[in-house]
Structure 1
Amino acid sequence: MKLIKLDAIDSTNDFLKSLASQDELDNFTVVTAENQTKGKGQMGSKWQSESGKNLIMSVLVKEFLYDNEQVFNLSVIVSLAVIDALKSLNIPDLCIKWPNDIMSYNKKVGGILIENTIKSDGRIVSVIGIGLNVNQTNFDHLPNASSLAVICKTEFDKNALVLLIAEKLQHKIKIWETTSLDLWKEYFNSLFRQGVPMPFKKLNTKNPEQNFMGIIQGVSSVGKIQILLEDDSVSEFEIKEIQMLY
């Protein structure tokens, strides 16, 4: 595993994508940064992180995805790899808020953004961005966020955590072909608020925003969340279509 450490960068994902387009980088090359000025989250949101306090990393993954219909498999693997790494540090009450936010209790401690590039020969190259709130303690304007330090009342070694996550990720990918069904089951069983009634907001640019009650029943092979509605029907939604209210 090649590790590239940066002091400050606009985006570790963008930096790694640029490197990968110009050079034949080793699989599982990792880029970390102490500060990221233009971090990205799901749906174009910004990932804000206090300089030097948190884990900011991107990982290059090649020779795993070969079909657009399989891309969510990598999201499952990465989410579980991060959960495994945090479990080994005794972080309590971990779960995954669909599709791949990392939660402890009901607070978000991390996020994942996977960007895929299809090469001219059909290969899919993935850059996985992982942000974890590690030693930051001030979340005054982020009521749903927390950090490992706040939850466990101790500081953590970010560098050791980078290596631990990379190791867990490589292991999950290695065993995927023989354990994919087990890992999908583990992913579903790790979902935040799965199986219990909860409110959702329907996001639609054509109609007014609309709230509804539902129960998470599963996630499709392409990553759509499956929700049991009040009329006993099950509907599937993409990430841009609904928002959980909690």
Structure 2
Amino acid sequence: MKIIKLDAIDSTNSYVRQLSLHEKLVDFTIVTAAAQTSGRGQMGTTWNTEKGKNLTFSVFKKVSCLENEEQFYISMATSLAIYNALKHFQIPKLAIKWPNDILAENKKICGILIENVIQNSKMTAAIIGIGLNVNQTDFDTLLNASSLKKITGIHYDLDEVLFQVAAQLEKYARLITERSLEQLKMEYELLLFRKDKPSTFEDTDGNLFMGFIQGVADDGKLHVLLEDEIVKAFDLKEIKLKY
């Protein structure tokens, strides 16, 4: 493991990708920044954070044992790693909101953005971007956002939290290398937010509908049991799970 600490950067994911183009990166290279000026989230969203109060970092992980259609297992492993790292700090009421937001007390405390490195039509590595709200307590109009400190009242050492997340990432990365994919999927589905509970979803046209989350497919699509007793698979671009 190699850790590169930066004061400020546009995006740690972008920095790692550029770095990987110019030099051979050590597996599990971590780039962390005190501030990101253009942090990115899922579906083109931005990730805003107060300087020096949270963890914003990216991990370069070599991956050669997964087929392209199995990429979502990296997302599962990352979600589980963060979940268990936060469990170590006794953060209450943790859950994974599909596809890979980490919630505590139904509030979002962590976002993940994974960008795969493809060479000759084969995935060779993943750049795992993580934004974890740690000591920030003011989120302005972001009603569904929270942080470790806001939830527990405790001020956390950022390096200690980073160490726990990195240790858990290494543990779950080994499960991918060992091809223990069924174990990953089982653990992930057990922790899914609102699994087997009546939930409200919104489609791309803004229409709301009810359904029950059943689990996920190998490619990451969400299996939802609809009112007509049909289980349908949705990808991230098709539906949004409402809180």
TM-score, L = length of structure 1 = 0.95
How has the CA–CA distance of structure 1 residues 221 and 121 changed in structure 2, closer, same or farther, with 3 Å as cutoff?
closer
After superposition, what is the alpha-carbon deviation per residue over 1:31-66, rounded to whole angstroms, capped at 9, x for unaligned? 000000101110010011111111001000113454
The CA deviation at 1:140 is: 2.6
In the alignment, does 2:195 pair up with 1:188?
A: no
Which runs of 5 or more residues in structure 2 are unaligned? none
CA root-mean-square deviation: 1.3
How has the CA–CA distance of structure 1 residues 173 and 233 changed in structure 2, closer, same or farther, with 3 Å as cutoff?
same
Runs of 4+ in 1 over 6 A off after TM superposition: none
In structure 2, the residue corresponding to 1:53 is in which secondary structure?
coil
Aligned twin of 1:236: 233
* Paired positions, count: 242
Aligned twin of 2:67: 67
Map 1:101-180 to 2 at 5 A.
101-120=101-120, 122-176=122-176, 177=178, 179-180=180-181
After superposition, what is the alpha-carbon deviation per residue over 1:175-233, rounded to whole angstroms, capped at 9, x for unaligned? 34264322211100100011000111001xxxx42110000011000000010011111
Percentage identity across aligned positions? 48
Say if 1:65 and 1:71, in contact at 8 Å, map to a contact too.
no
Say if 2:213 and 2:222, in contact at 8 Å, map to a contact too.
yes
CA distance in 2 between counterparts of 1:53 and 1:227 reads 37
Say if 2:116 and 2:123, in contact at 8 Å, map to a contact too.
no
Compare 161-170 and 213-222 and name the one that shifted more. Answer: 161-170
The amino acid of 1:186's aligned partner reads: E
After superposition, what is the alpha-carbon deviation per residue over 1:125-165, rounded to whole angstroms, capped at 9, x for unaligned? 21000000000000231100100000011111111111211
How has the CA–CA distance of structure 1 residues 10 and 65 changed in structure 2, closer, same or farther, with 3 Å as cutoff?
farther
Say if 1:119 and 1:125, in contact at 8 Å, map to a contact too.
no
TM-score, L = length of structure 2 = 0.96
Which runs of 5 or more residues in structure 1 are unaligned? none
CA distance in 1 between counterparts of 2:29 and 2:124 reads 16
CA distance in 1 between counterparts of 2:119 and 2:156 reads 38
The amino acid of 2:184's aligned partner reads: L
In structure 2, the residue corresponding to 1:57 is in which secondary structure?
strand
The amino acid of 1:15's aligned partner reads: Y
In the alignment, does 2:217 pair up with 1:216?
A: no
CA distance in 2 between counterparts of 1:215 and 1:120 reads 39
Aligned twin of 1:96: 96
The amino acid of 2:11's aligned partner reads: S
